[in-house]
Structure formats: structure tokens, C-alpha cells
A and B are shown apart, each in its own frame.
Chain A
């Protein structure tokens, strides 16, 4: 059976498609026009008779023209042809020829262009980003003058390059302006930007709220290699996503996924550099890894990496006091920006610890170990120190890294990490003032029902009633750095005070007890919580406390047996390591591109400057006394932090992102909970592109030429 004609047309989609605009009799009249014109030309022959001596020569002159006289006559007549052409163009315009264009399902288009690190891969075009820009440019070229386009570039942070506009030139310019970045990819933020107009948020459930903008459906083109976390918590709504993958499946890449410098485990005077390399190509490969110190090659290694796997490399370094280590994969591959990584060896810096205590032998012993002495300078002071100006100035200027308050309480929190033992940090809410459960203080009635309690504001600590019954430690948060390798199984607590976990905080030790109501209760007694870039740890128990006995005399009691357990010195070491800020002192900080980094000034009040790998110098503004935030980490490489003429420290910005290094484009992307958006190789959405306007314009031009020819008697 033959296919129906319309099926034929549907199969041959590239053929021009015609639309019948006229009924048959209108077509009949129109079809009669060209023959009529030709006929008029033959009838027109109002030749002027002219008597000549002889037609002898004339006949001989036009002899060969007579061979095909009719055709010759037409050939000679430019006017006739122009008129026929005009009619033909008019008829063609009436047929409304069109073809399947690239798109036009809606009239609004959002182009999301991925400019993350993986888009610098050179497997497609000059780079994937250029290829994406080219594809997007083609799409812009296919927009009609009614269509509005918007361009958003995204890495882990989206940027609106161009708001909705109908100006195609502007769209192209904005497209050209997209620069590659070395950042990882996250589509979620870009989608939020894109959805802003398509799915206006309902400000009210009330249907009569006229303020709610009309939703504006748009087609969302995502030019990317699809290497981003799946965005499942997103409702597309009026957005119609089209995923245009960029890059080839054959792309080969070996990337550095991690690189760091540590002290050698056995020989503390030596450093060890560790790196993890990943092969994301389709074939097993062998690459040369070169390690340079301050630009000088000091070591190299040949690393075999099976396809799709990672391989560790370790380099032993002799004594390196300070410097900049660079690891480079010498073998070329499609993505260059993950072939180099930096690590910084900063000069060692000891942290400063102040212990405010009325006297605590266990703490003195624990802070006096060799390991702690190597990390920190520990100063002891009595609680009377708190009220004196030297302490107040130093605390406010951030002279200490860590302050321990054993049964003491400052009026103002210092610019440092803190540990409170048997005391609560000074609250910012005045109503909290009376709640401090000073050891040996009189019991207060439970003023609140814990369940019905509202969430505490940040920075405000609350404590419950002292537990008088036997309390057992049932859980320690061993994932937290403070509690690593700490075994609390053999530790008992005497009358601990349960604490509340402030927002953002974490419980480190939980206890269980049987309350007065004969019910079992669980509550944290050791809590850590962030405070403006610092962290405060609060213990709900004391090591050595005083108690008012029934006869009115005070009596010293031992609050816990932890100090005599093996785990306690380890805890103190963890503690100085973690809260003392010495963890990063040796190997220098490394951050991912685009991530902020917190910097400290060695001299309180001195300004800091950061020198980027590109040679730019950026002056930092103090966020808090002695503390700086630096966000301009978009460039890969080593950044130098300077205070005046002195180099304070250096930190490195490395990609270290396996999804970015894995440059094989993903076949589909998951947006929302529906089916994944499959890759679309070309913009093949069917749509009609029409030509009649151009045909009419051409007809007008022909008419002008015809008029000129008629008036000027131009001959062929």
C-alpha cells in the first residue's frame, strides 16, 4: 500500500512544506495570469509598418533568429520575464512555503551554558565551552525576531549573562563574553535563576491575589557535558528542558584528585606528599607525574592507572621548611586544568592556648605533654585574670587561638575558640544570665518543658537541671575530630548537667539517666557549636567540683574519672589540634575554586593582601578583628597572603573534583523527579519557518527593476 501523501511529506521532513491559502477557483484565476501575460505579449505586436528599400539585409540579419523565433522573441524580452517572475514570486508567497526549523515551541528561550572546569576539555572544537557557545550561537541565529532569549552561564555558581531580550546581536555578544572557569558544576542554582520567571512564586494561596505574575513558559537549553549532581529536588513547572551534550565519549583524561603534604609518620622531620590520580579515559594509561618544589623538579614517577580507576602516589621529601609544591601530570590529555596541583608548605606556627582555671592538676598534666608542647604555647591563668585589661584586649584582638574556661566565665566571648568546663558561655539574651549551672550552685526549678521549648537563638546556650541520679554515657560522636580515637566506655560522670544543642552545633557525649518521673532520659552533656567562625565546646560536667552539703559546708568532689583514663591526653591533643588551628599550619590550606577561605592576620589590626597566581593583588577587608574572608579563589594555583612586606602564609586552589575530571559527557541529566532529560544531538524540534515575507520583498525588487527597464529601454 502506498503511503498517503501527507505521510510522504512527513517522512521527507526536510522538504519545503506548502500551505494552501486559496480555494481552487482562486488558484484557477491566479494560474491564468502568467499565460495571459505571455498571450498579451504575442498580441501586443503593434509593430509600426515601415517601408524600406529592401528587406534583403534585414532578413539575412535575423535569419538565425528565426530558427526558434518564438523562444527568441521571449528571450529578447526582459520585461516579460520580469513580469512573469513577479507573478511567480507572488504565487510562491501565497503558497506560504516553509520548512522545518530548529525550534519555536515557545517564544522564550533560556540558554544555560556550562563554563565549569570540565568545559575546558579540548575534545570538541577548540574547547567544549567554545563548542557550546557555537551551538548556542546557532540556536540564537534560529530565533525569530519575536523570540526572547536569556543566557545564564553556570559552574557551581550561576551568572546571568543576559536577561531576556529579543536583540540577537546582544545575545551573541553576551554569549561570546562567557569565560571558562575552573570551578565545579552545580545546576541547581542556575535552574532556580531560570525558573524565576517561568514559575513565579505564589506569594499567596489566595487566588484573587493579582500581584502574582503570570507564568512565562520557556524552553530551557542546557549546553553542558552533564557532569553535575542530579537535581532531583526541583520542579520544572513551565520550563521545557532540552539537554545539548557537548564533548565526545572518547575523551581521555587523567586528573589529580588529591594532593597534600603531611609529616612522615615515623620520622617527624620529614614530609610526605600524597596524591591520588584518576584515569577517566576509556583505556588503561601510564602517565608521568612530576613533583616540583618552587619550580624545581625534585621527583618524578611513572604511574600506571587502569581505565576508570584511581591510583595513589607518594613522594618522600627531605626537610622542607617552607615552599610551594607542584605536582604535574606530564602526559597530555583532553583536560589540562586538572593535570596540575599545588600544595603549600607553610612555616610551622604554634598555636596559643590560654587555660583559665582556679586550679586543675589534670589539665596541667594533660597540656604539659610533649606532643601538646610541640603544637602550642599553653598559658595558665586564674579566673581573676578575666576582669583585667590585658586579658580583655588580647582576647578581643584574637591573640589566642584557644581559651579554656575551667569553672570560669568571661563577660564577653573572646575572638578565639573556647572550651567551657562546668560553665555556660555568656549568653547574648539577658534572660539566660540566671541559668548558669555553676558547679555547686543551688538547684533551680525546671522552668521549661523541653519538648515545648522554642528553638534557641544562635549563640545562646541553655542547660537543664543537674542530674542527681546515676548517669551513663551511652554515646560518643566518634566521627567528630575532637572525639576521634576516644573510648569513653570506662568513664563515669558524677552529676552532669544536660545541655541543649544550639543551632548548627553537634553533641559529642550523650548520657542516659532515670529521672524523678521514673522515665528514661537521654541528653547531651558535651556539645560543640559554631560562633561567627569560631567554635565553642561546652562540657556539662567538671573534673573537680565543690558541693554544698546538707549541713551547709562545702565539700570538694571529683566530677569524673576521665582525667585518669588513657583517652584524656588523646582528647587534649585532638582538642589542641582541632580548635588550636594547627591542623593547617604545616601543609597549608587548599580550597576548591570558588570556595571562600578564612585568613588570619598575625598582628591584630594589620591589613592583609592576597596575591593571586595571576599576579593581581587584592586588599582584604577585615570581617572581624584579625579575621579576613577571601572569596576570589576562582583561579587555580598558589595564592600568597601578605601583611605589608611579610608573607604570612600561602594557600593553594586546586580543582580536586572527580566529577569535573570525569569528562565523558553524560547521556542524560536528571532534573526533578520525572524521567531524565535525554541528550539531544541537534536542535531538531519541528517547527515552521516561513518565507513569504522574503518572497514578497523579492517581488517588490523585481517590480522596481521592471519599472527601470521599462523606462530606460534596457536591452539584453
Chain B
């Protein structure tokens, strides 16, 4: 059992060991993995017979059957392959809020799910939206890649000045492979999140959206006359806190979450709302398990 950082407490690690990532879609892996594939291939597990046709690999002819039946059959085996798991972290300035920060929460979640993937021999790649092309994220595989993964997560820092759309677009350009993509963001982009999610959908990936919001955003405790400054673009909003305004804000927030959930559900994206003050273990072992991302 390797030692871990604060991102992954040992207790959590132990629980994660027994989990695996589930994809609702079947993807062709690049390498052999621990995942049983619907493709027939070369593994030790027998799957089926079929008639021999010219050109088949003679190594797979079942000679015993030939001896009994005098006909050539080919033995088919189950193929075991790996799963591509992408964790896409929004590291914009807005994610650097909350206690713990939303970014930290996202990293924690990425680490947890990434470890599940590593433990099951999947291909894990953790990227940020503003991943510079010159410094691509490492592709991790195998349980021993835990440390490199955690080290890499440590290097992710906010803020990255990139919009959600651009980030997703670049991600899609860089990674053409199929697999699971987990977008962790607060979706608070003034240009909207819809276009960004469409890019991901276009890749025919199994898309998960973890909508990370801080407690301060869900239930702001503000008072008096305030000048709110947007930490990303410096935009200002002058408000005088009053009961009707707070009511109106909550209504707006609920509408925002509701529309995001509806958008995702309609398009087969699995949407999970996460609060930064709810622990990652609860999220992973609870919500995500229920939703079928892990088992």
C-alpha cells in the first residue's frame, strides 16, 4: 500500500482499491488491460468457436475438435482491454474559492477516480482546461503511477485564463481517443457552458459533469452595500443586500443548476452537483456509485 498525500487519505485509498470505473459505452482499448471486452481476442478466457475460413491464424485452430469432427474450428477467446479515463479539471480563477477550494476538491476527486483507474490498469490522463500544448499531461497506467499522478496534480494551479469552450475544444483536439471524460467545473462561464459540452459530446465520449459549487455560492452570507468583483475578468456588480435580492439570487442559482442538469440529461451526459464542503469519499462511494460511474 503506497503512502499518499492529503489528496487521498489512506482510508479512502483502501476503499477505492475495490472499485472500478464503469463505462456505459464500449471502447476499443489500445493495450491489453484488465477489462473484459466484447471483442474476441487473445486472452486465456474461452469465448466461442467459429468456422475456419482461409487466412485465419492457424494457431487458434482447435485441433481436438478437428480430430473428432474432421472439420476445422477456430477457438475464440475473450479480449481483455484497458479503459481511457480522462479527468478534465477547470482551473480557472473562479475555482480557487471556497474552503476547501473548489479546485482542491476537483483535484481530490480526480485523484480518487484516477486511482481507481490505475488500480484496474486503465489508462488515466488528467488534464486541465488550459493545458499548455508544450507540456502535455502524462498518460498514467498501472498502480505504481499513483505517485506520478499525485505529483502531477500538485502542479496544477489556478488561475488559468482560458474559457470553458476553448479548454474543451483544445482537449478534444489533443485527445482523439474514446473513453470516459470527467469534467469538473463550476460552469460559471459568462459565454455559457453549452458549447463546451457539445465539443465533448462530439467526441462520442462517455461524458460526466461534476458541477462543483462552493457553499458560499449556494448560500451566500452577504450583508450591506457591496461591490462584487469578478475574480476572473474584474467585472463589478453593485448590490445592496436585501431579502428580496437574496431570494432572487437563490432563484437564479436554482434556475442555473436546473438548466445545466436538464441540458446534460437530454444529451446523455451524467450530471452530478457537488458541494465543496461535502467530502470526496461521500461523493465517490455514494453519489458516483449510485450514478454508475464506479462500482
Q: Give residues in A with beta carbon < 8 Å to B.
A: 45-62, 73, 76-77, 715-716
Contact = CB atoms under 8 A, between A and B. Distances in A.
Interface stretch (B50-58, B113-121, B236-244, B260-268): B236-244
A61 B97 contact: no
A49 B229 contact: yes
A58 B249 contact: yes
Given A45-B238, A62-B239, A715-B244, A57 B229 contact: no
B20 interface: no
A47 B244 CA distance: 19
A51 B229 contact: yes
Contact of A46 (B97, B188, B225, B230): B225
Interface in B215-266: 216-217, 222, 224-232, 235-240, 242-245, 248-249, 251-253, 256
Size category, B interface: 35 or more
A57 B259 CA distance: 13
B57 to A, nearest CB: 58
B214 interface: yes
Interface string B18-53: 000000000000000000000000000000000000
B263 to A, nearest CB: 16
A391 B188 CA distance: 135
B237 A55 contact: yes
Given A54-B231, A57-B188, A715-B244, 17 more contacts: A45-B225, A50-B226, A52-B97, A52-B216, A53-B102, A53-B217, A53-B231, A54-B190, A54-B230, A57-B217, A57-B252, A58-B228, A60-B252, A61-B245, A61-B249, A62-B239, A715-B243
B186 interface: yes
Contact of B252 (A48, A49, A61, A73): A61
A52 B229 contact: yes
A59 B237 contact: yes
Contact of B231 (A51, A73, A715, A716): A51
Contacts of A77: 240
A58 B232 contact: no
A49 B227 contact: yes
Contacts of A46: 225
A335 B171 CA distance: 107
Given A59-B237, A62-B237, A715-B242, A52 B252 contact: no
Contacts of A61: 245, 248-249, 251-252
Nearest to B213: A53
Interface of B is mostly: mixed
Contact of A55 (B97, B102, B230, B243): B230
B20 to A, nearest CB: 34
Contact of B242 (A52, A55, A56, A76): A76
Contacts, number: 89
B94 interface: yes
A477 B98 CA distance: 128
Nearest to B225: A47
Nearest to A58: B237
A707 to B, nearest CB: 19
A54 B186 contact: yes
A559 to B, nearest CB: 121
A54 B236 CA distance: 10
Contacts of A76: 240, 242
Nearest to B240: A76
Interface in B175-229: 186, 188-190, 214, 216-217, 222, 224-229
Interface string B79-104: 00000000000000111011000100
A715 B236 CA distance: 23
B224 A54 contact: no
A525 to B, nearest CB: 112
From A49, A58, A59, residue with most partner B Cβ within 10 Å: A58
B257 to A, nearest CB: 10
Contacts of B217: 53, 57
B227 A57 contact: no
Contacts of A50: 222, 226-229
B188 A54 contact: yes
From B229, B236, B237, B245, residue with most partner A Cβ within 10 Å: B237
A47 B226 contact: yes
B225 A48 contact: yes
Contacts of B249: 57-58, 61
A48 B253 CA distance: 23
A55 B230 CA distance: 5
From A51, A73, A76, residue with most partner B Cβ within 10 Å: A51
A55 B236 contact: yes
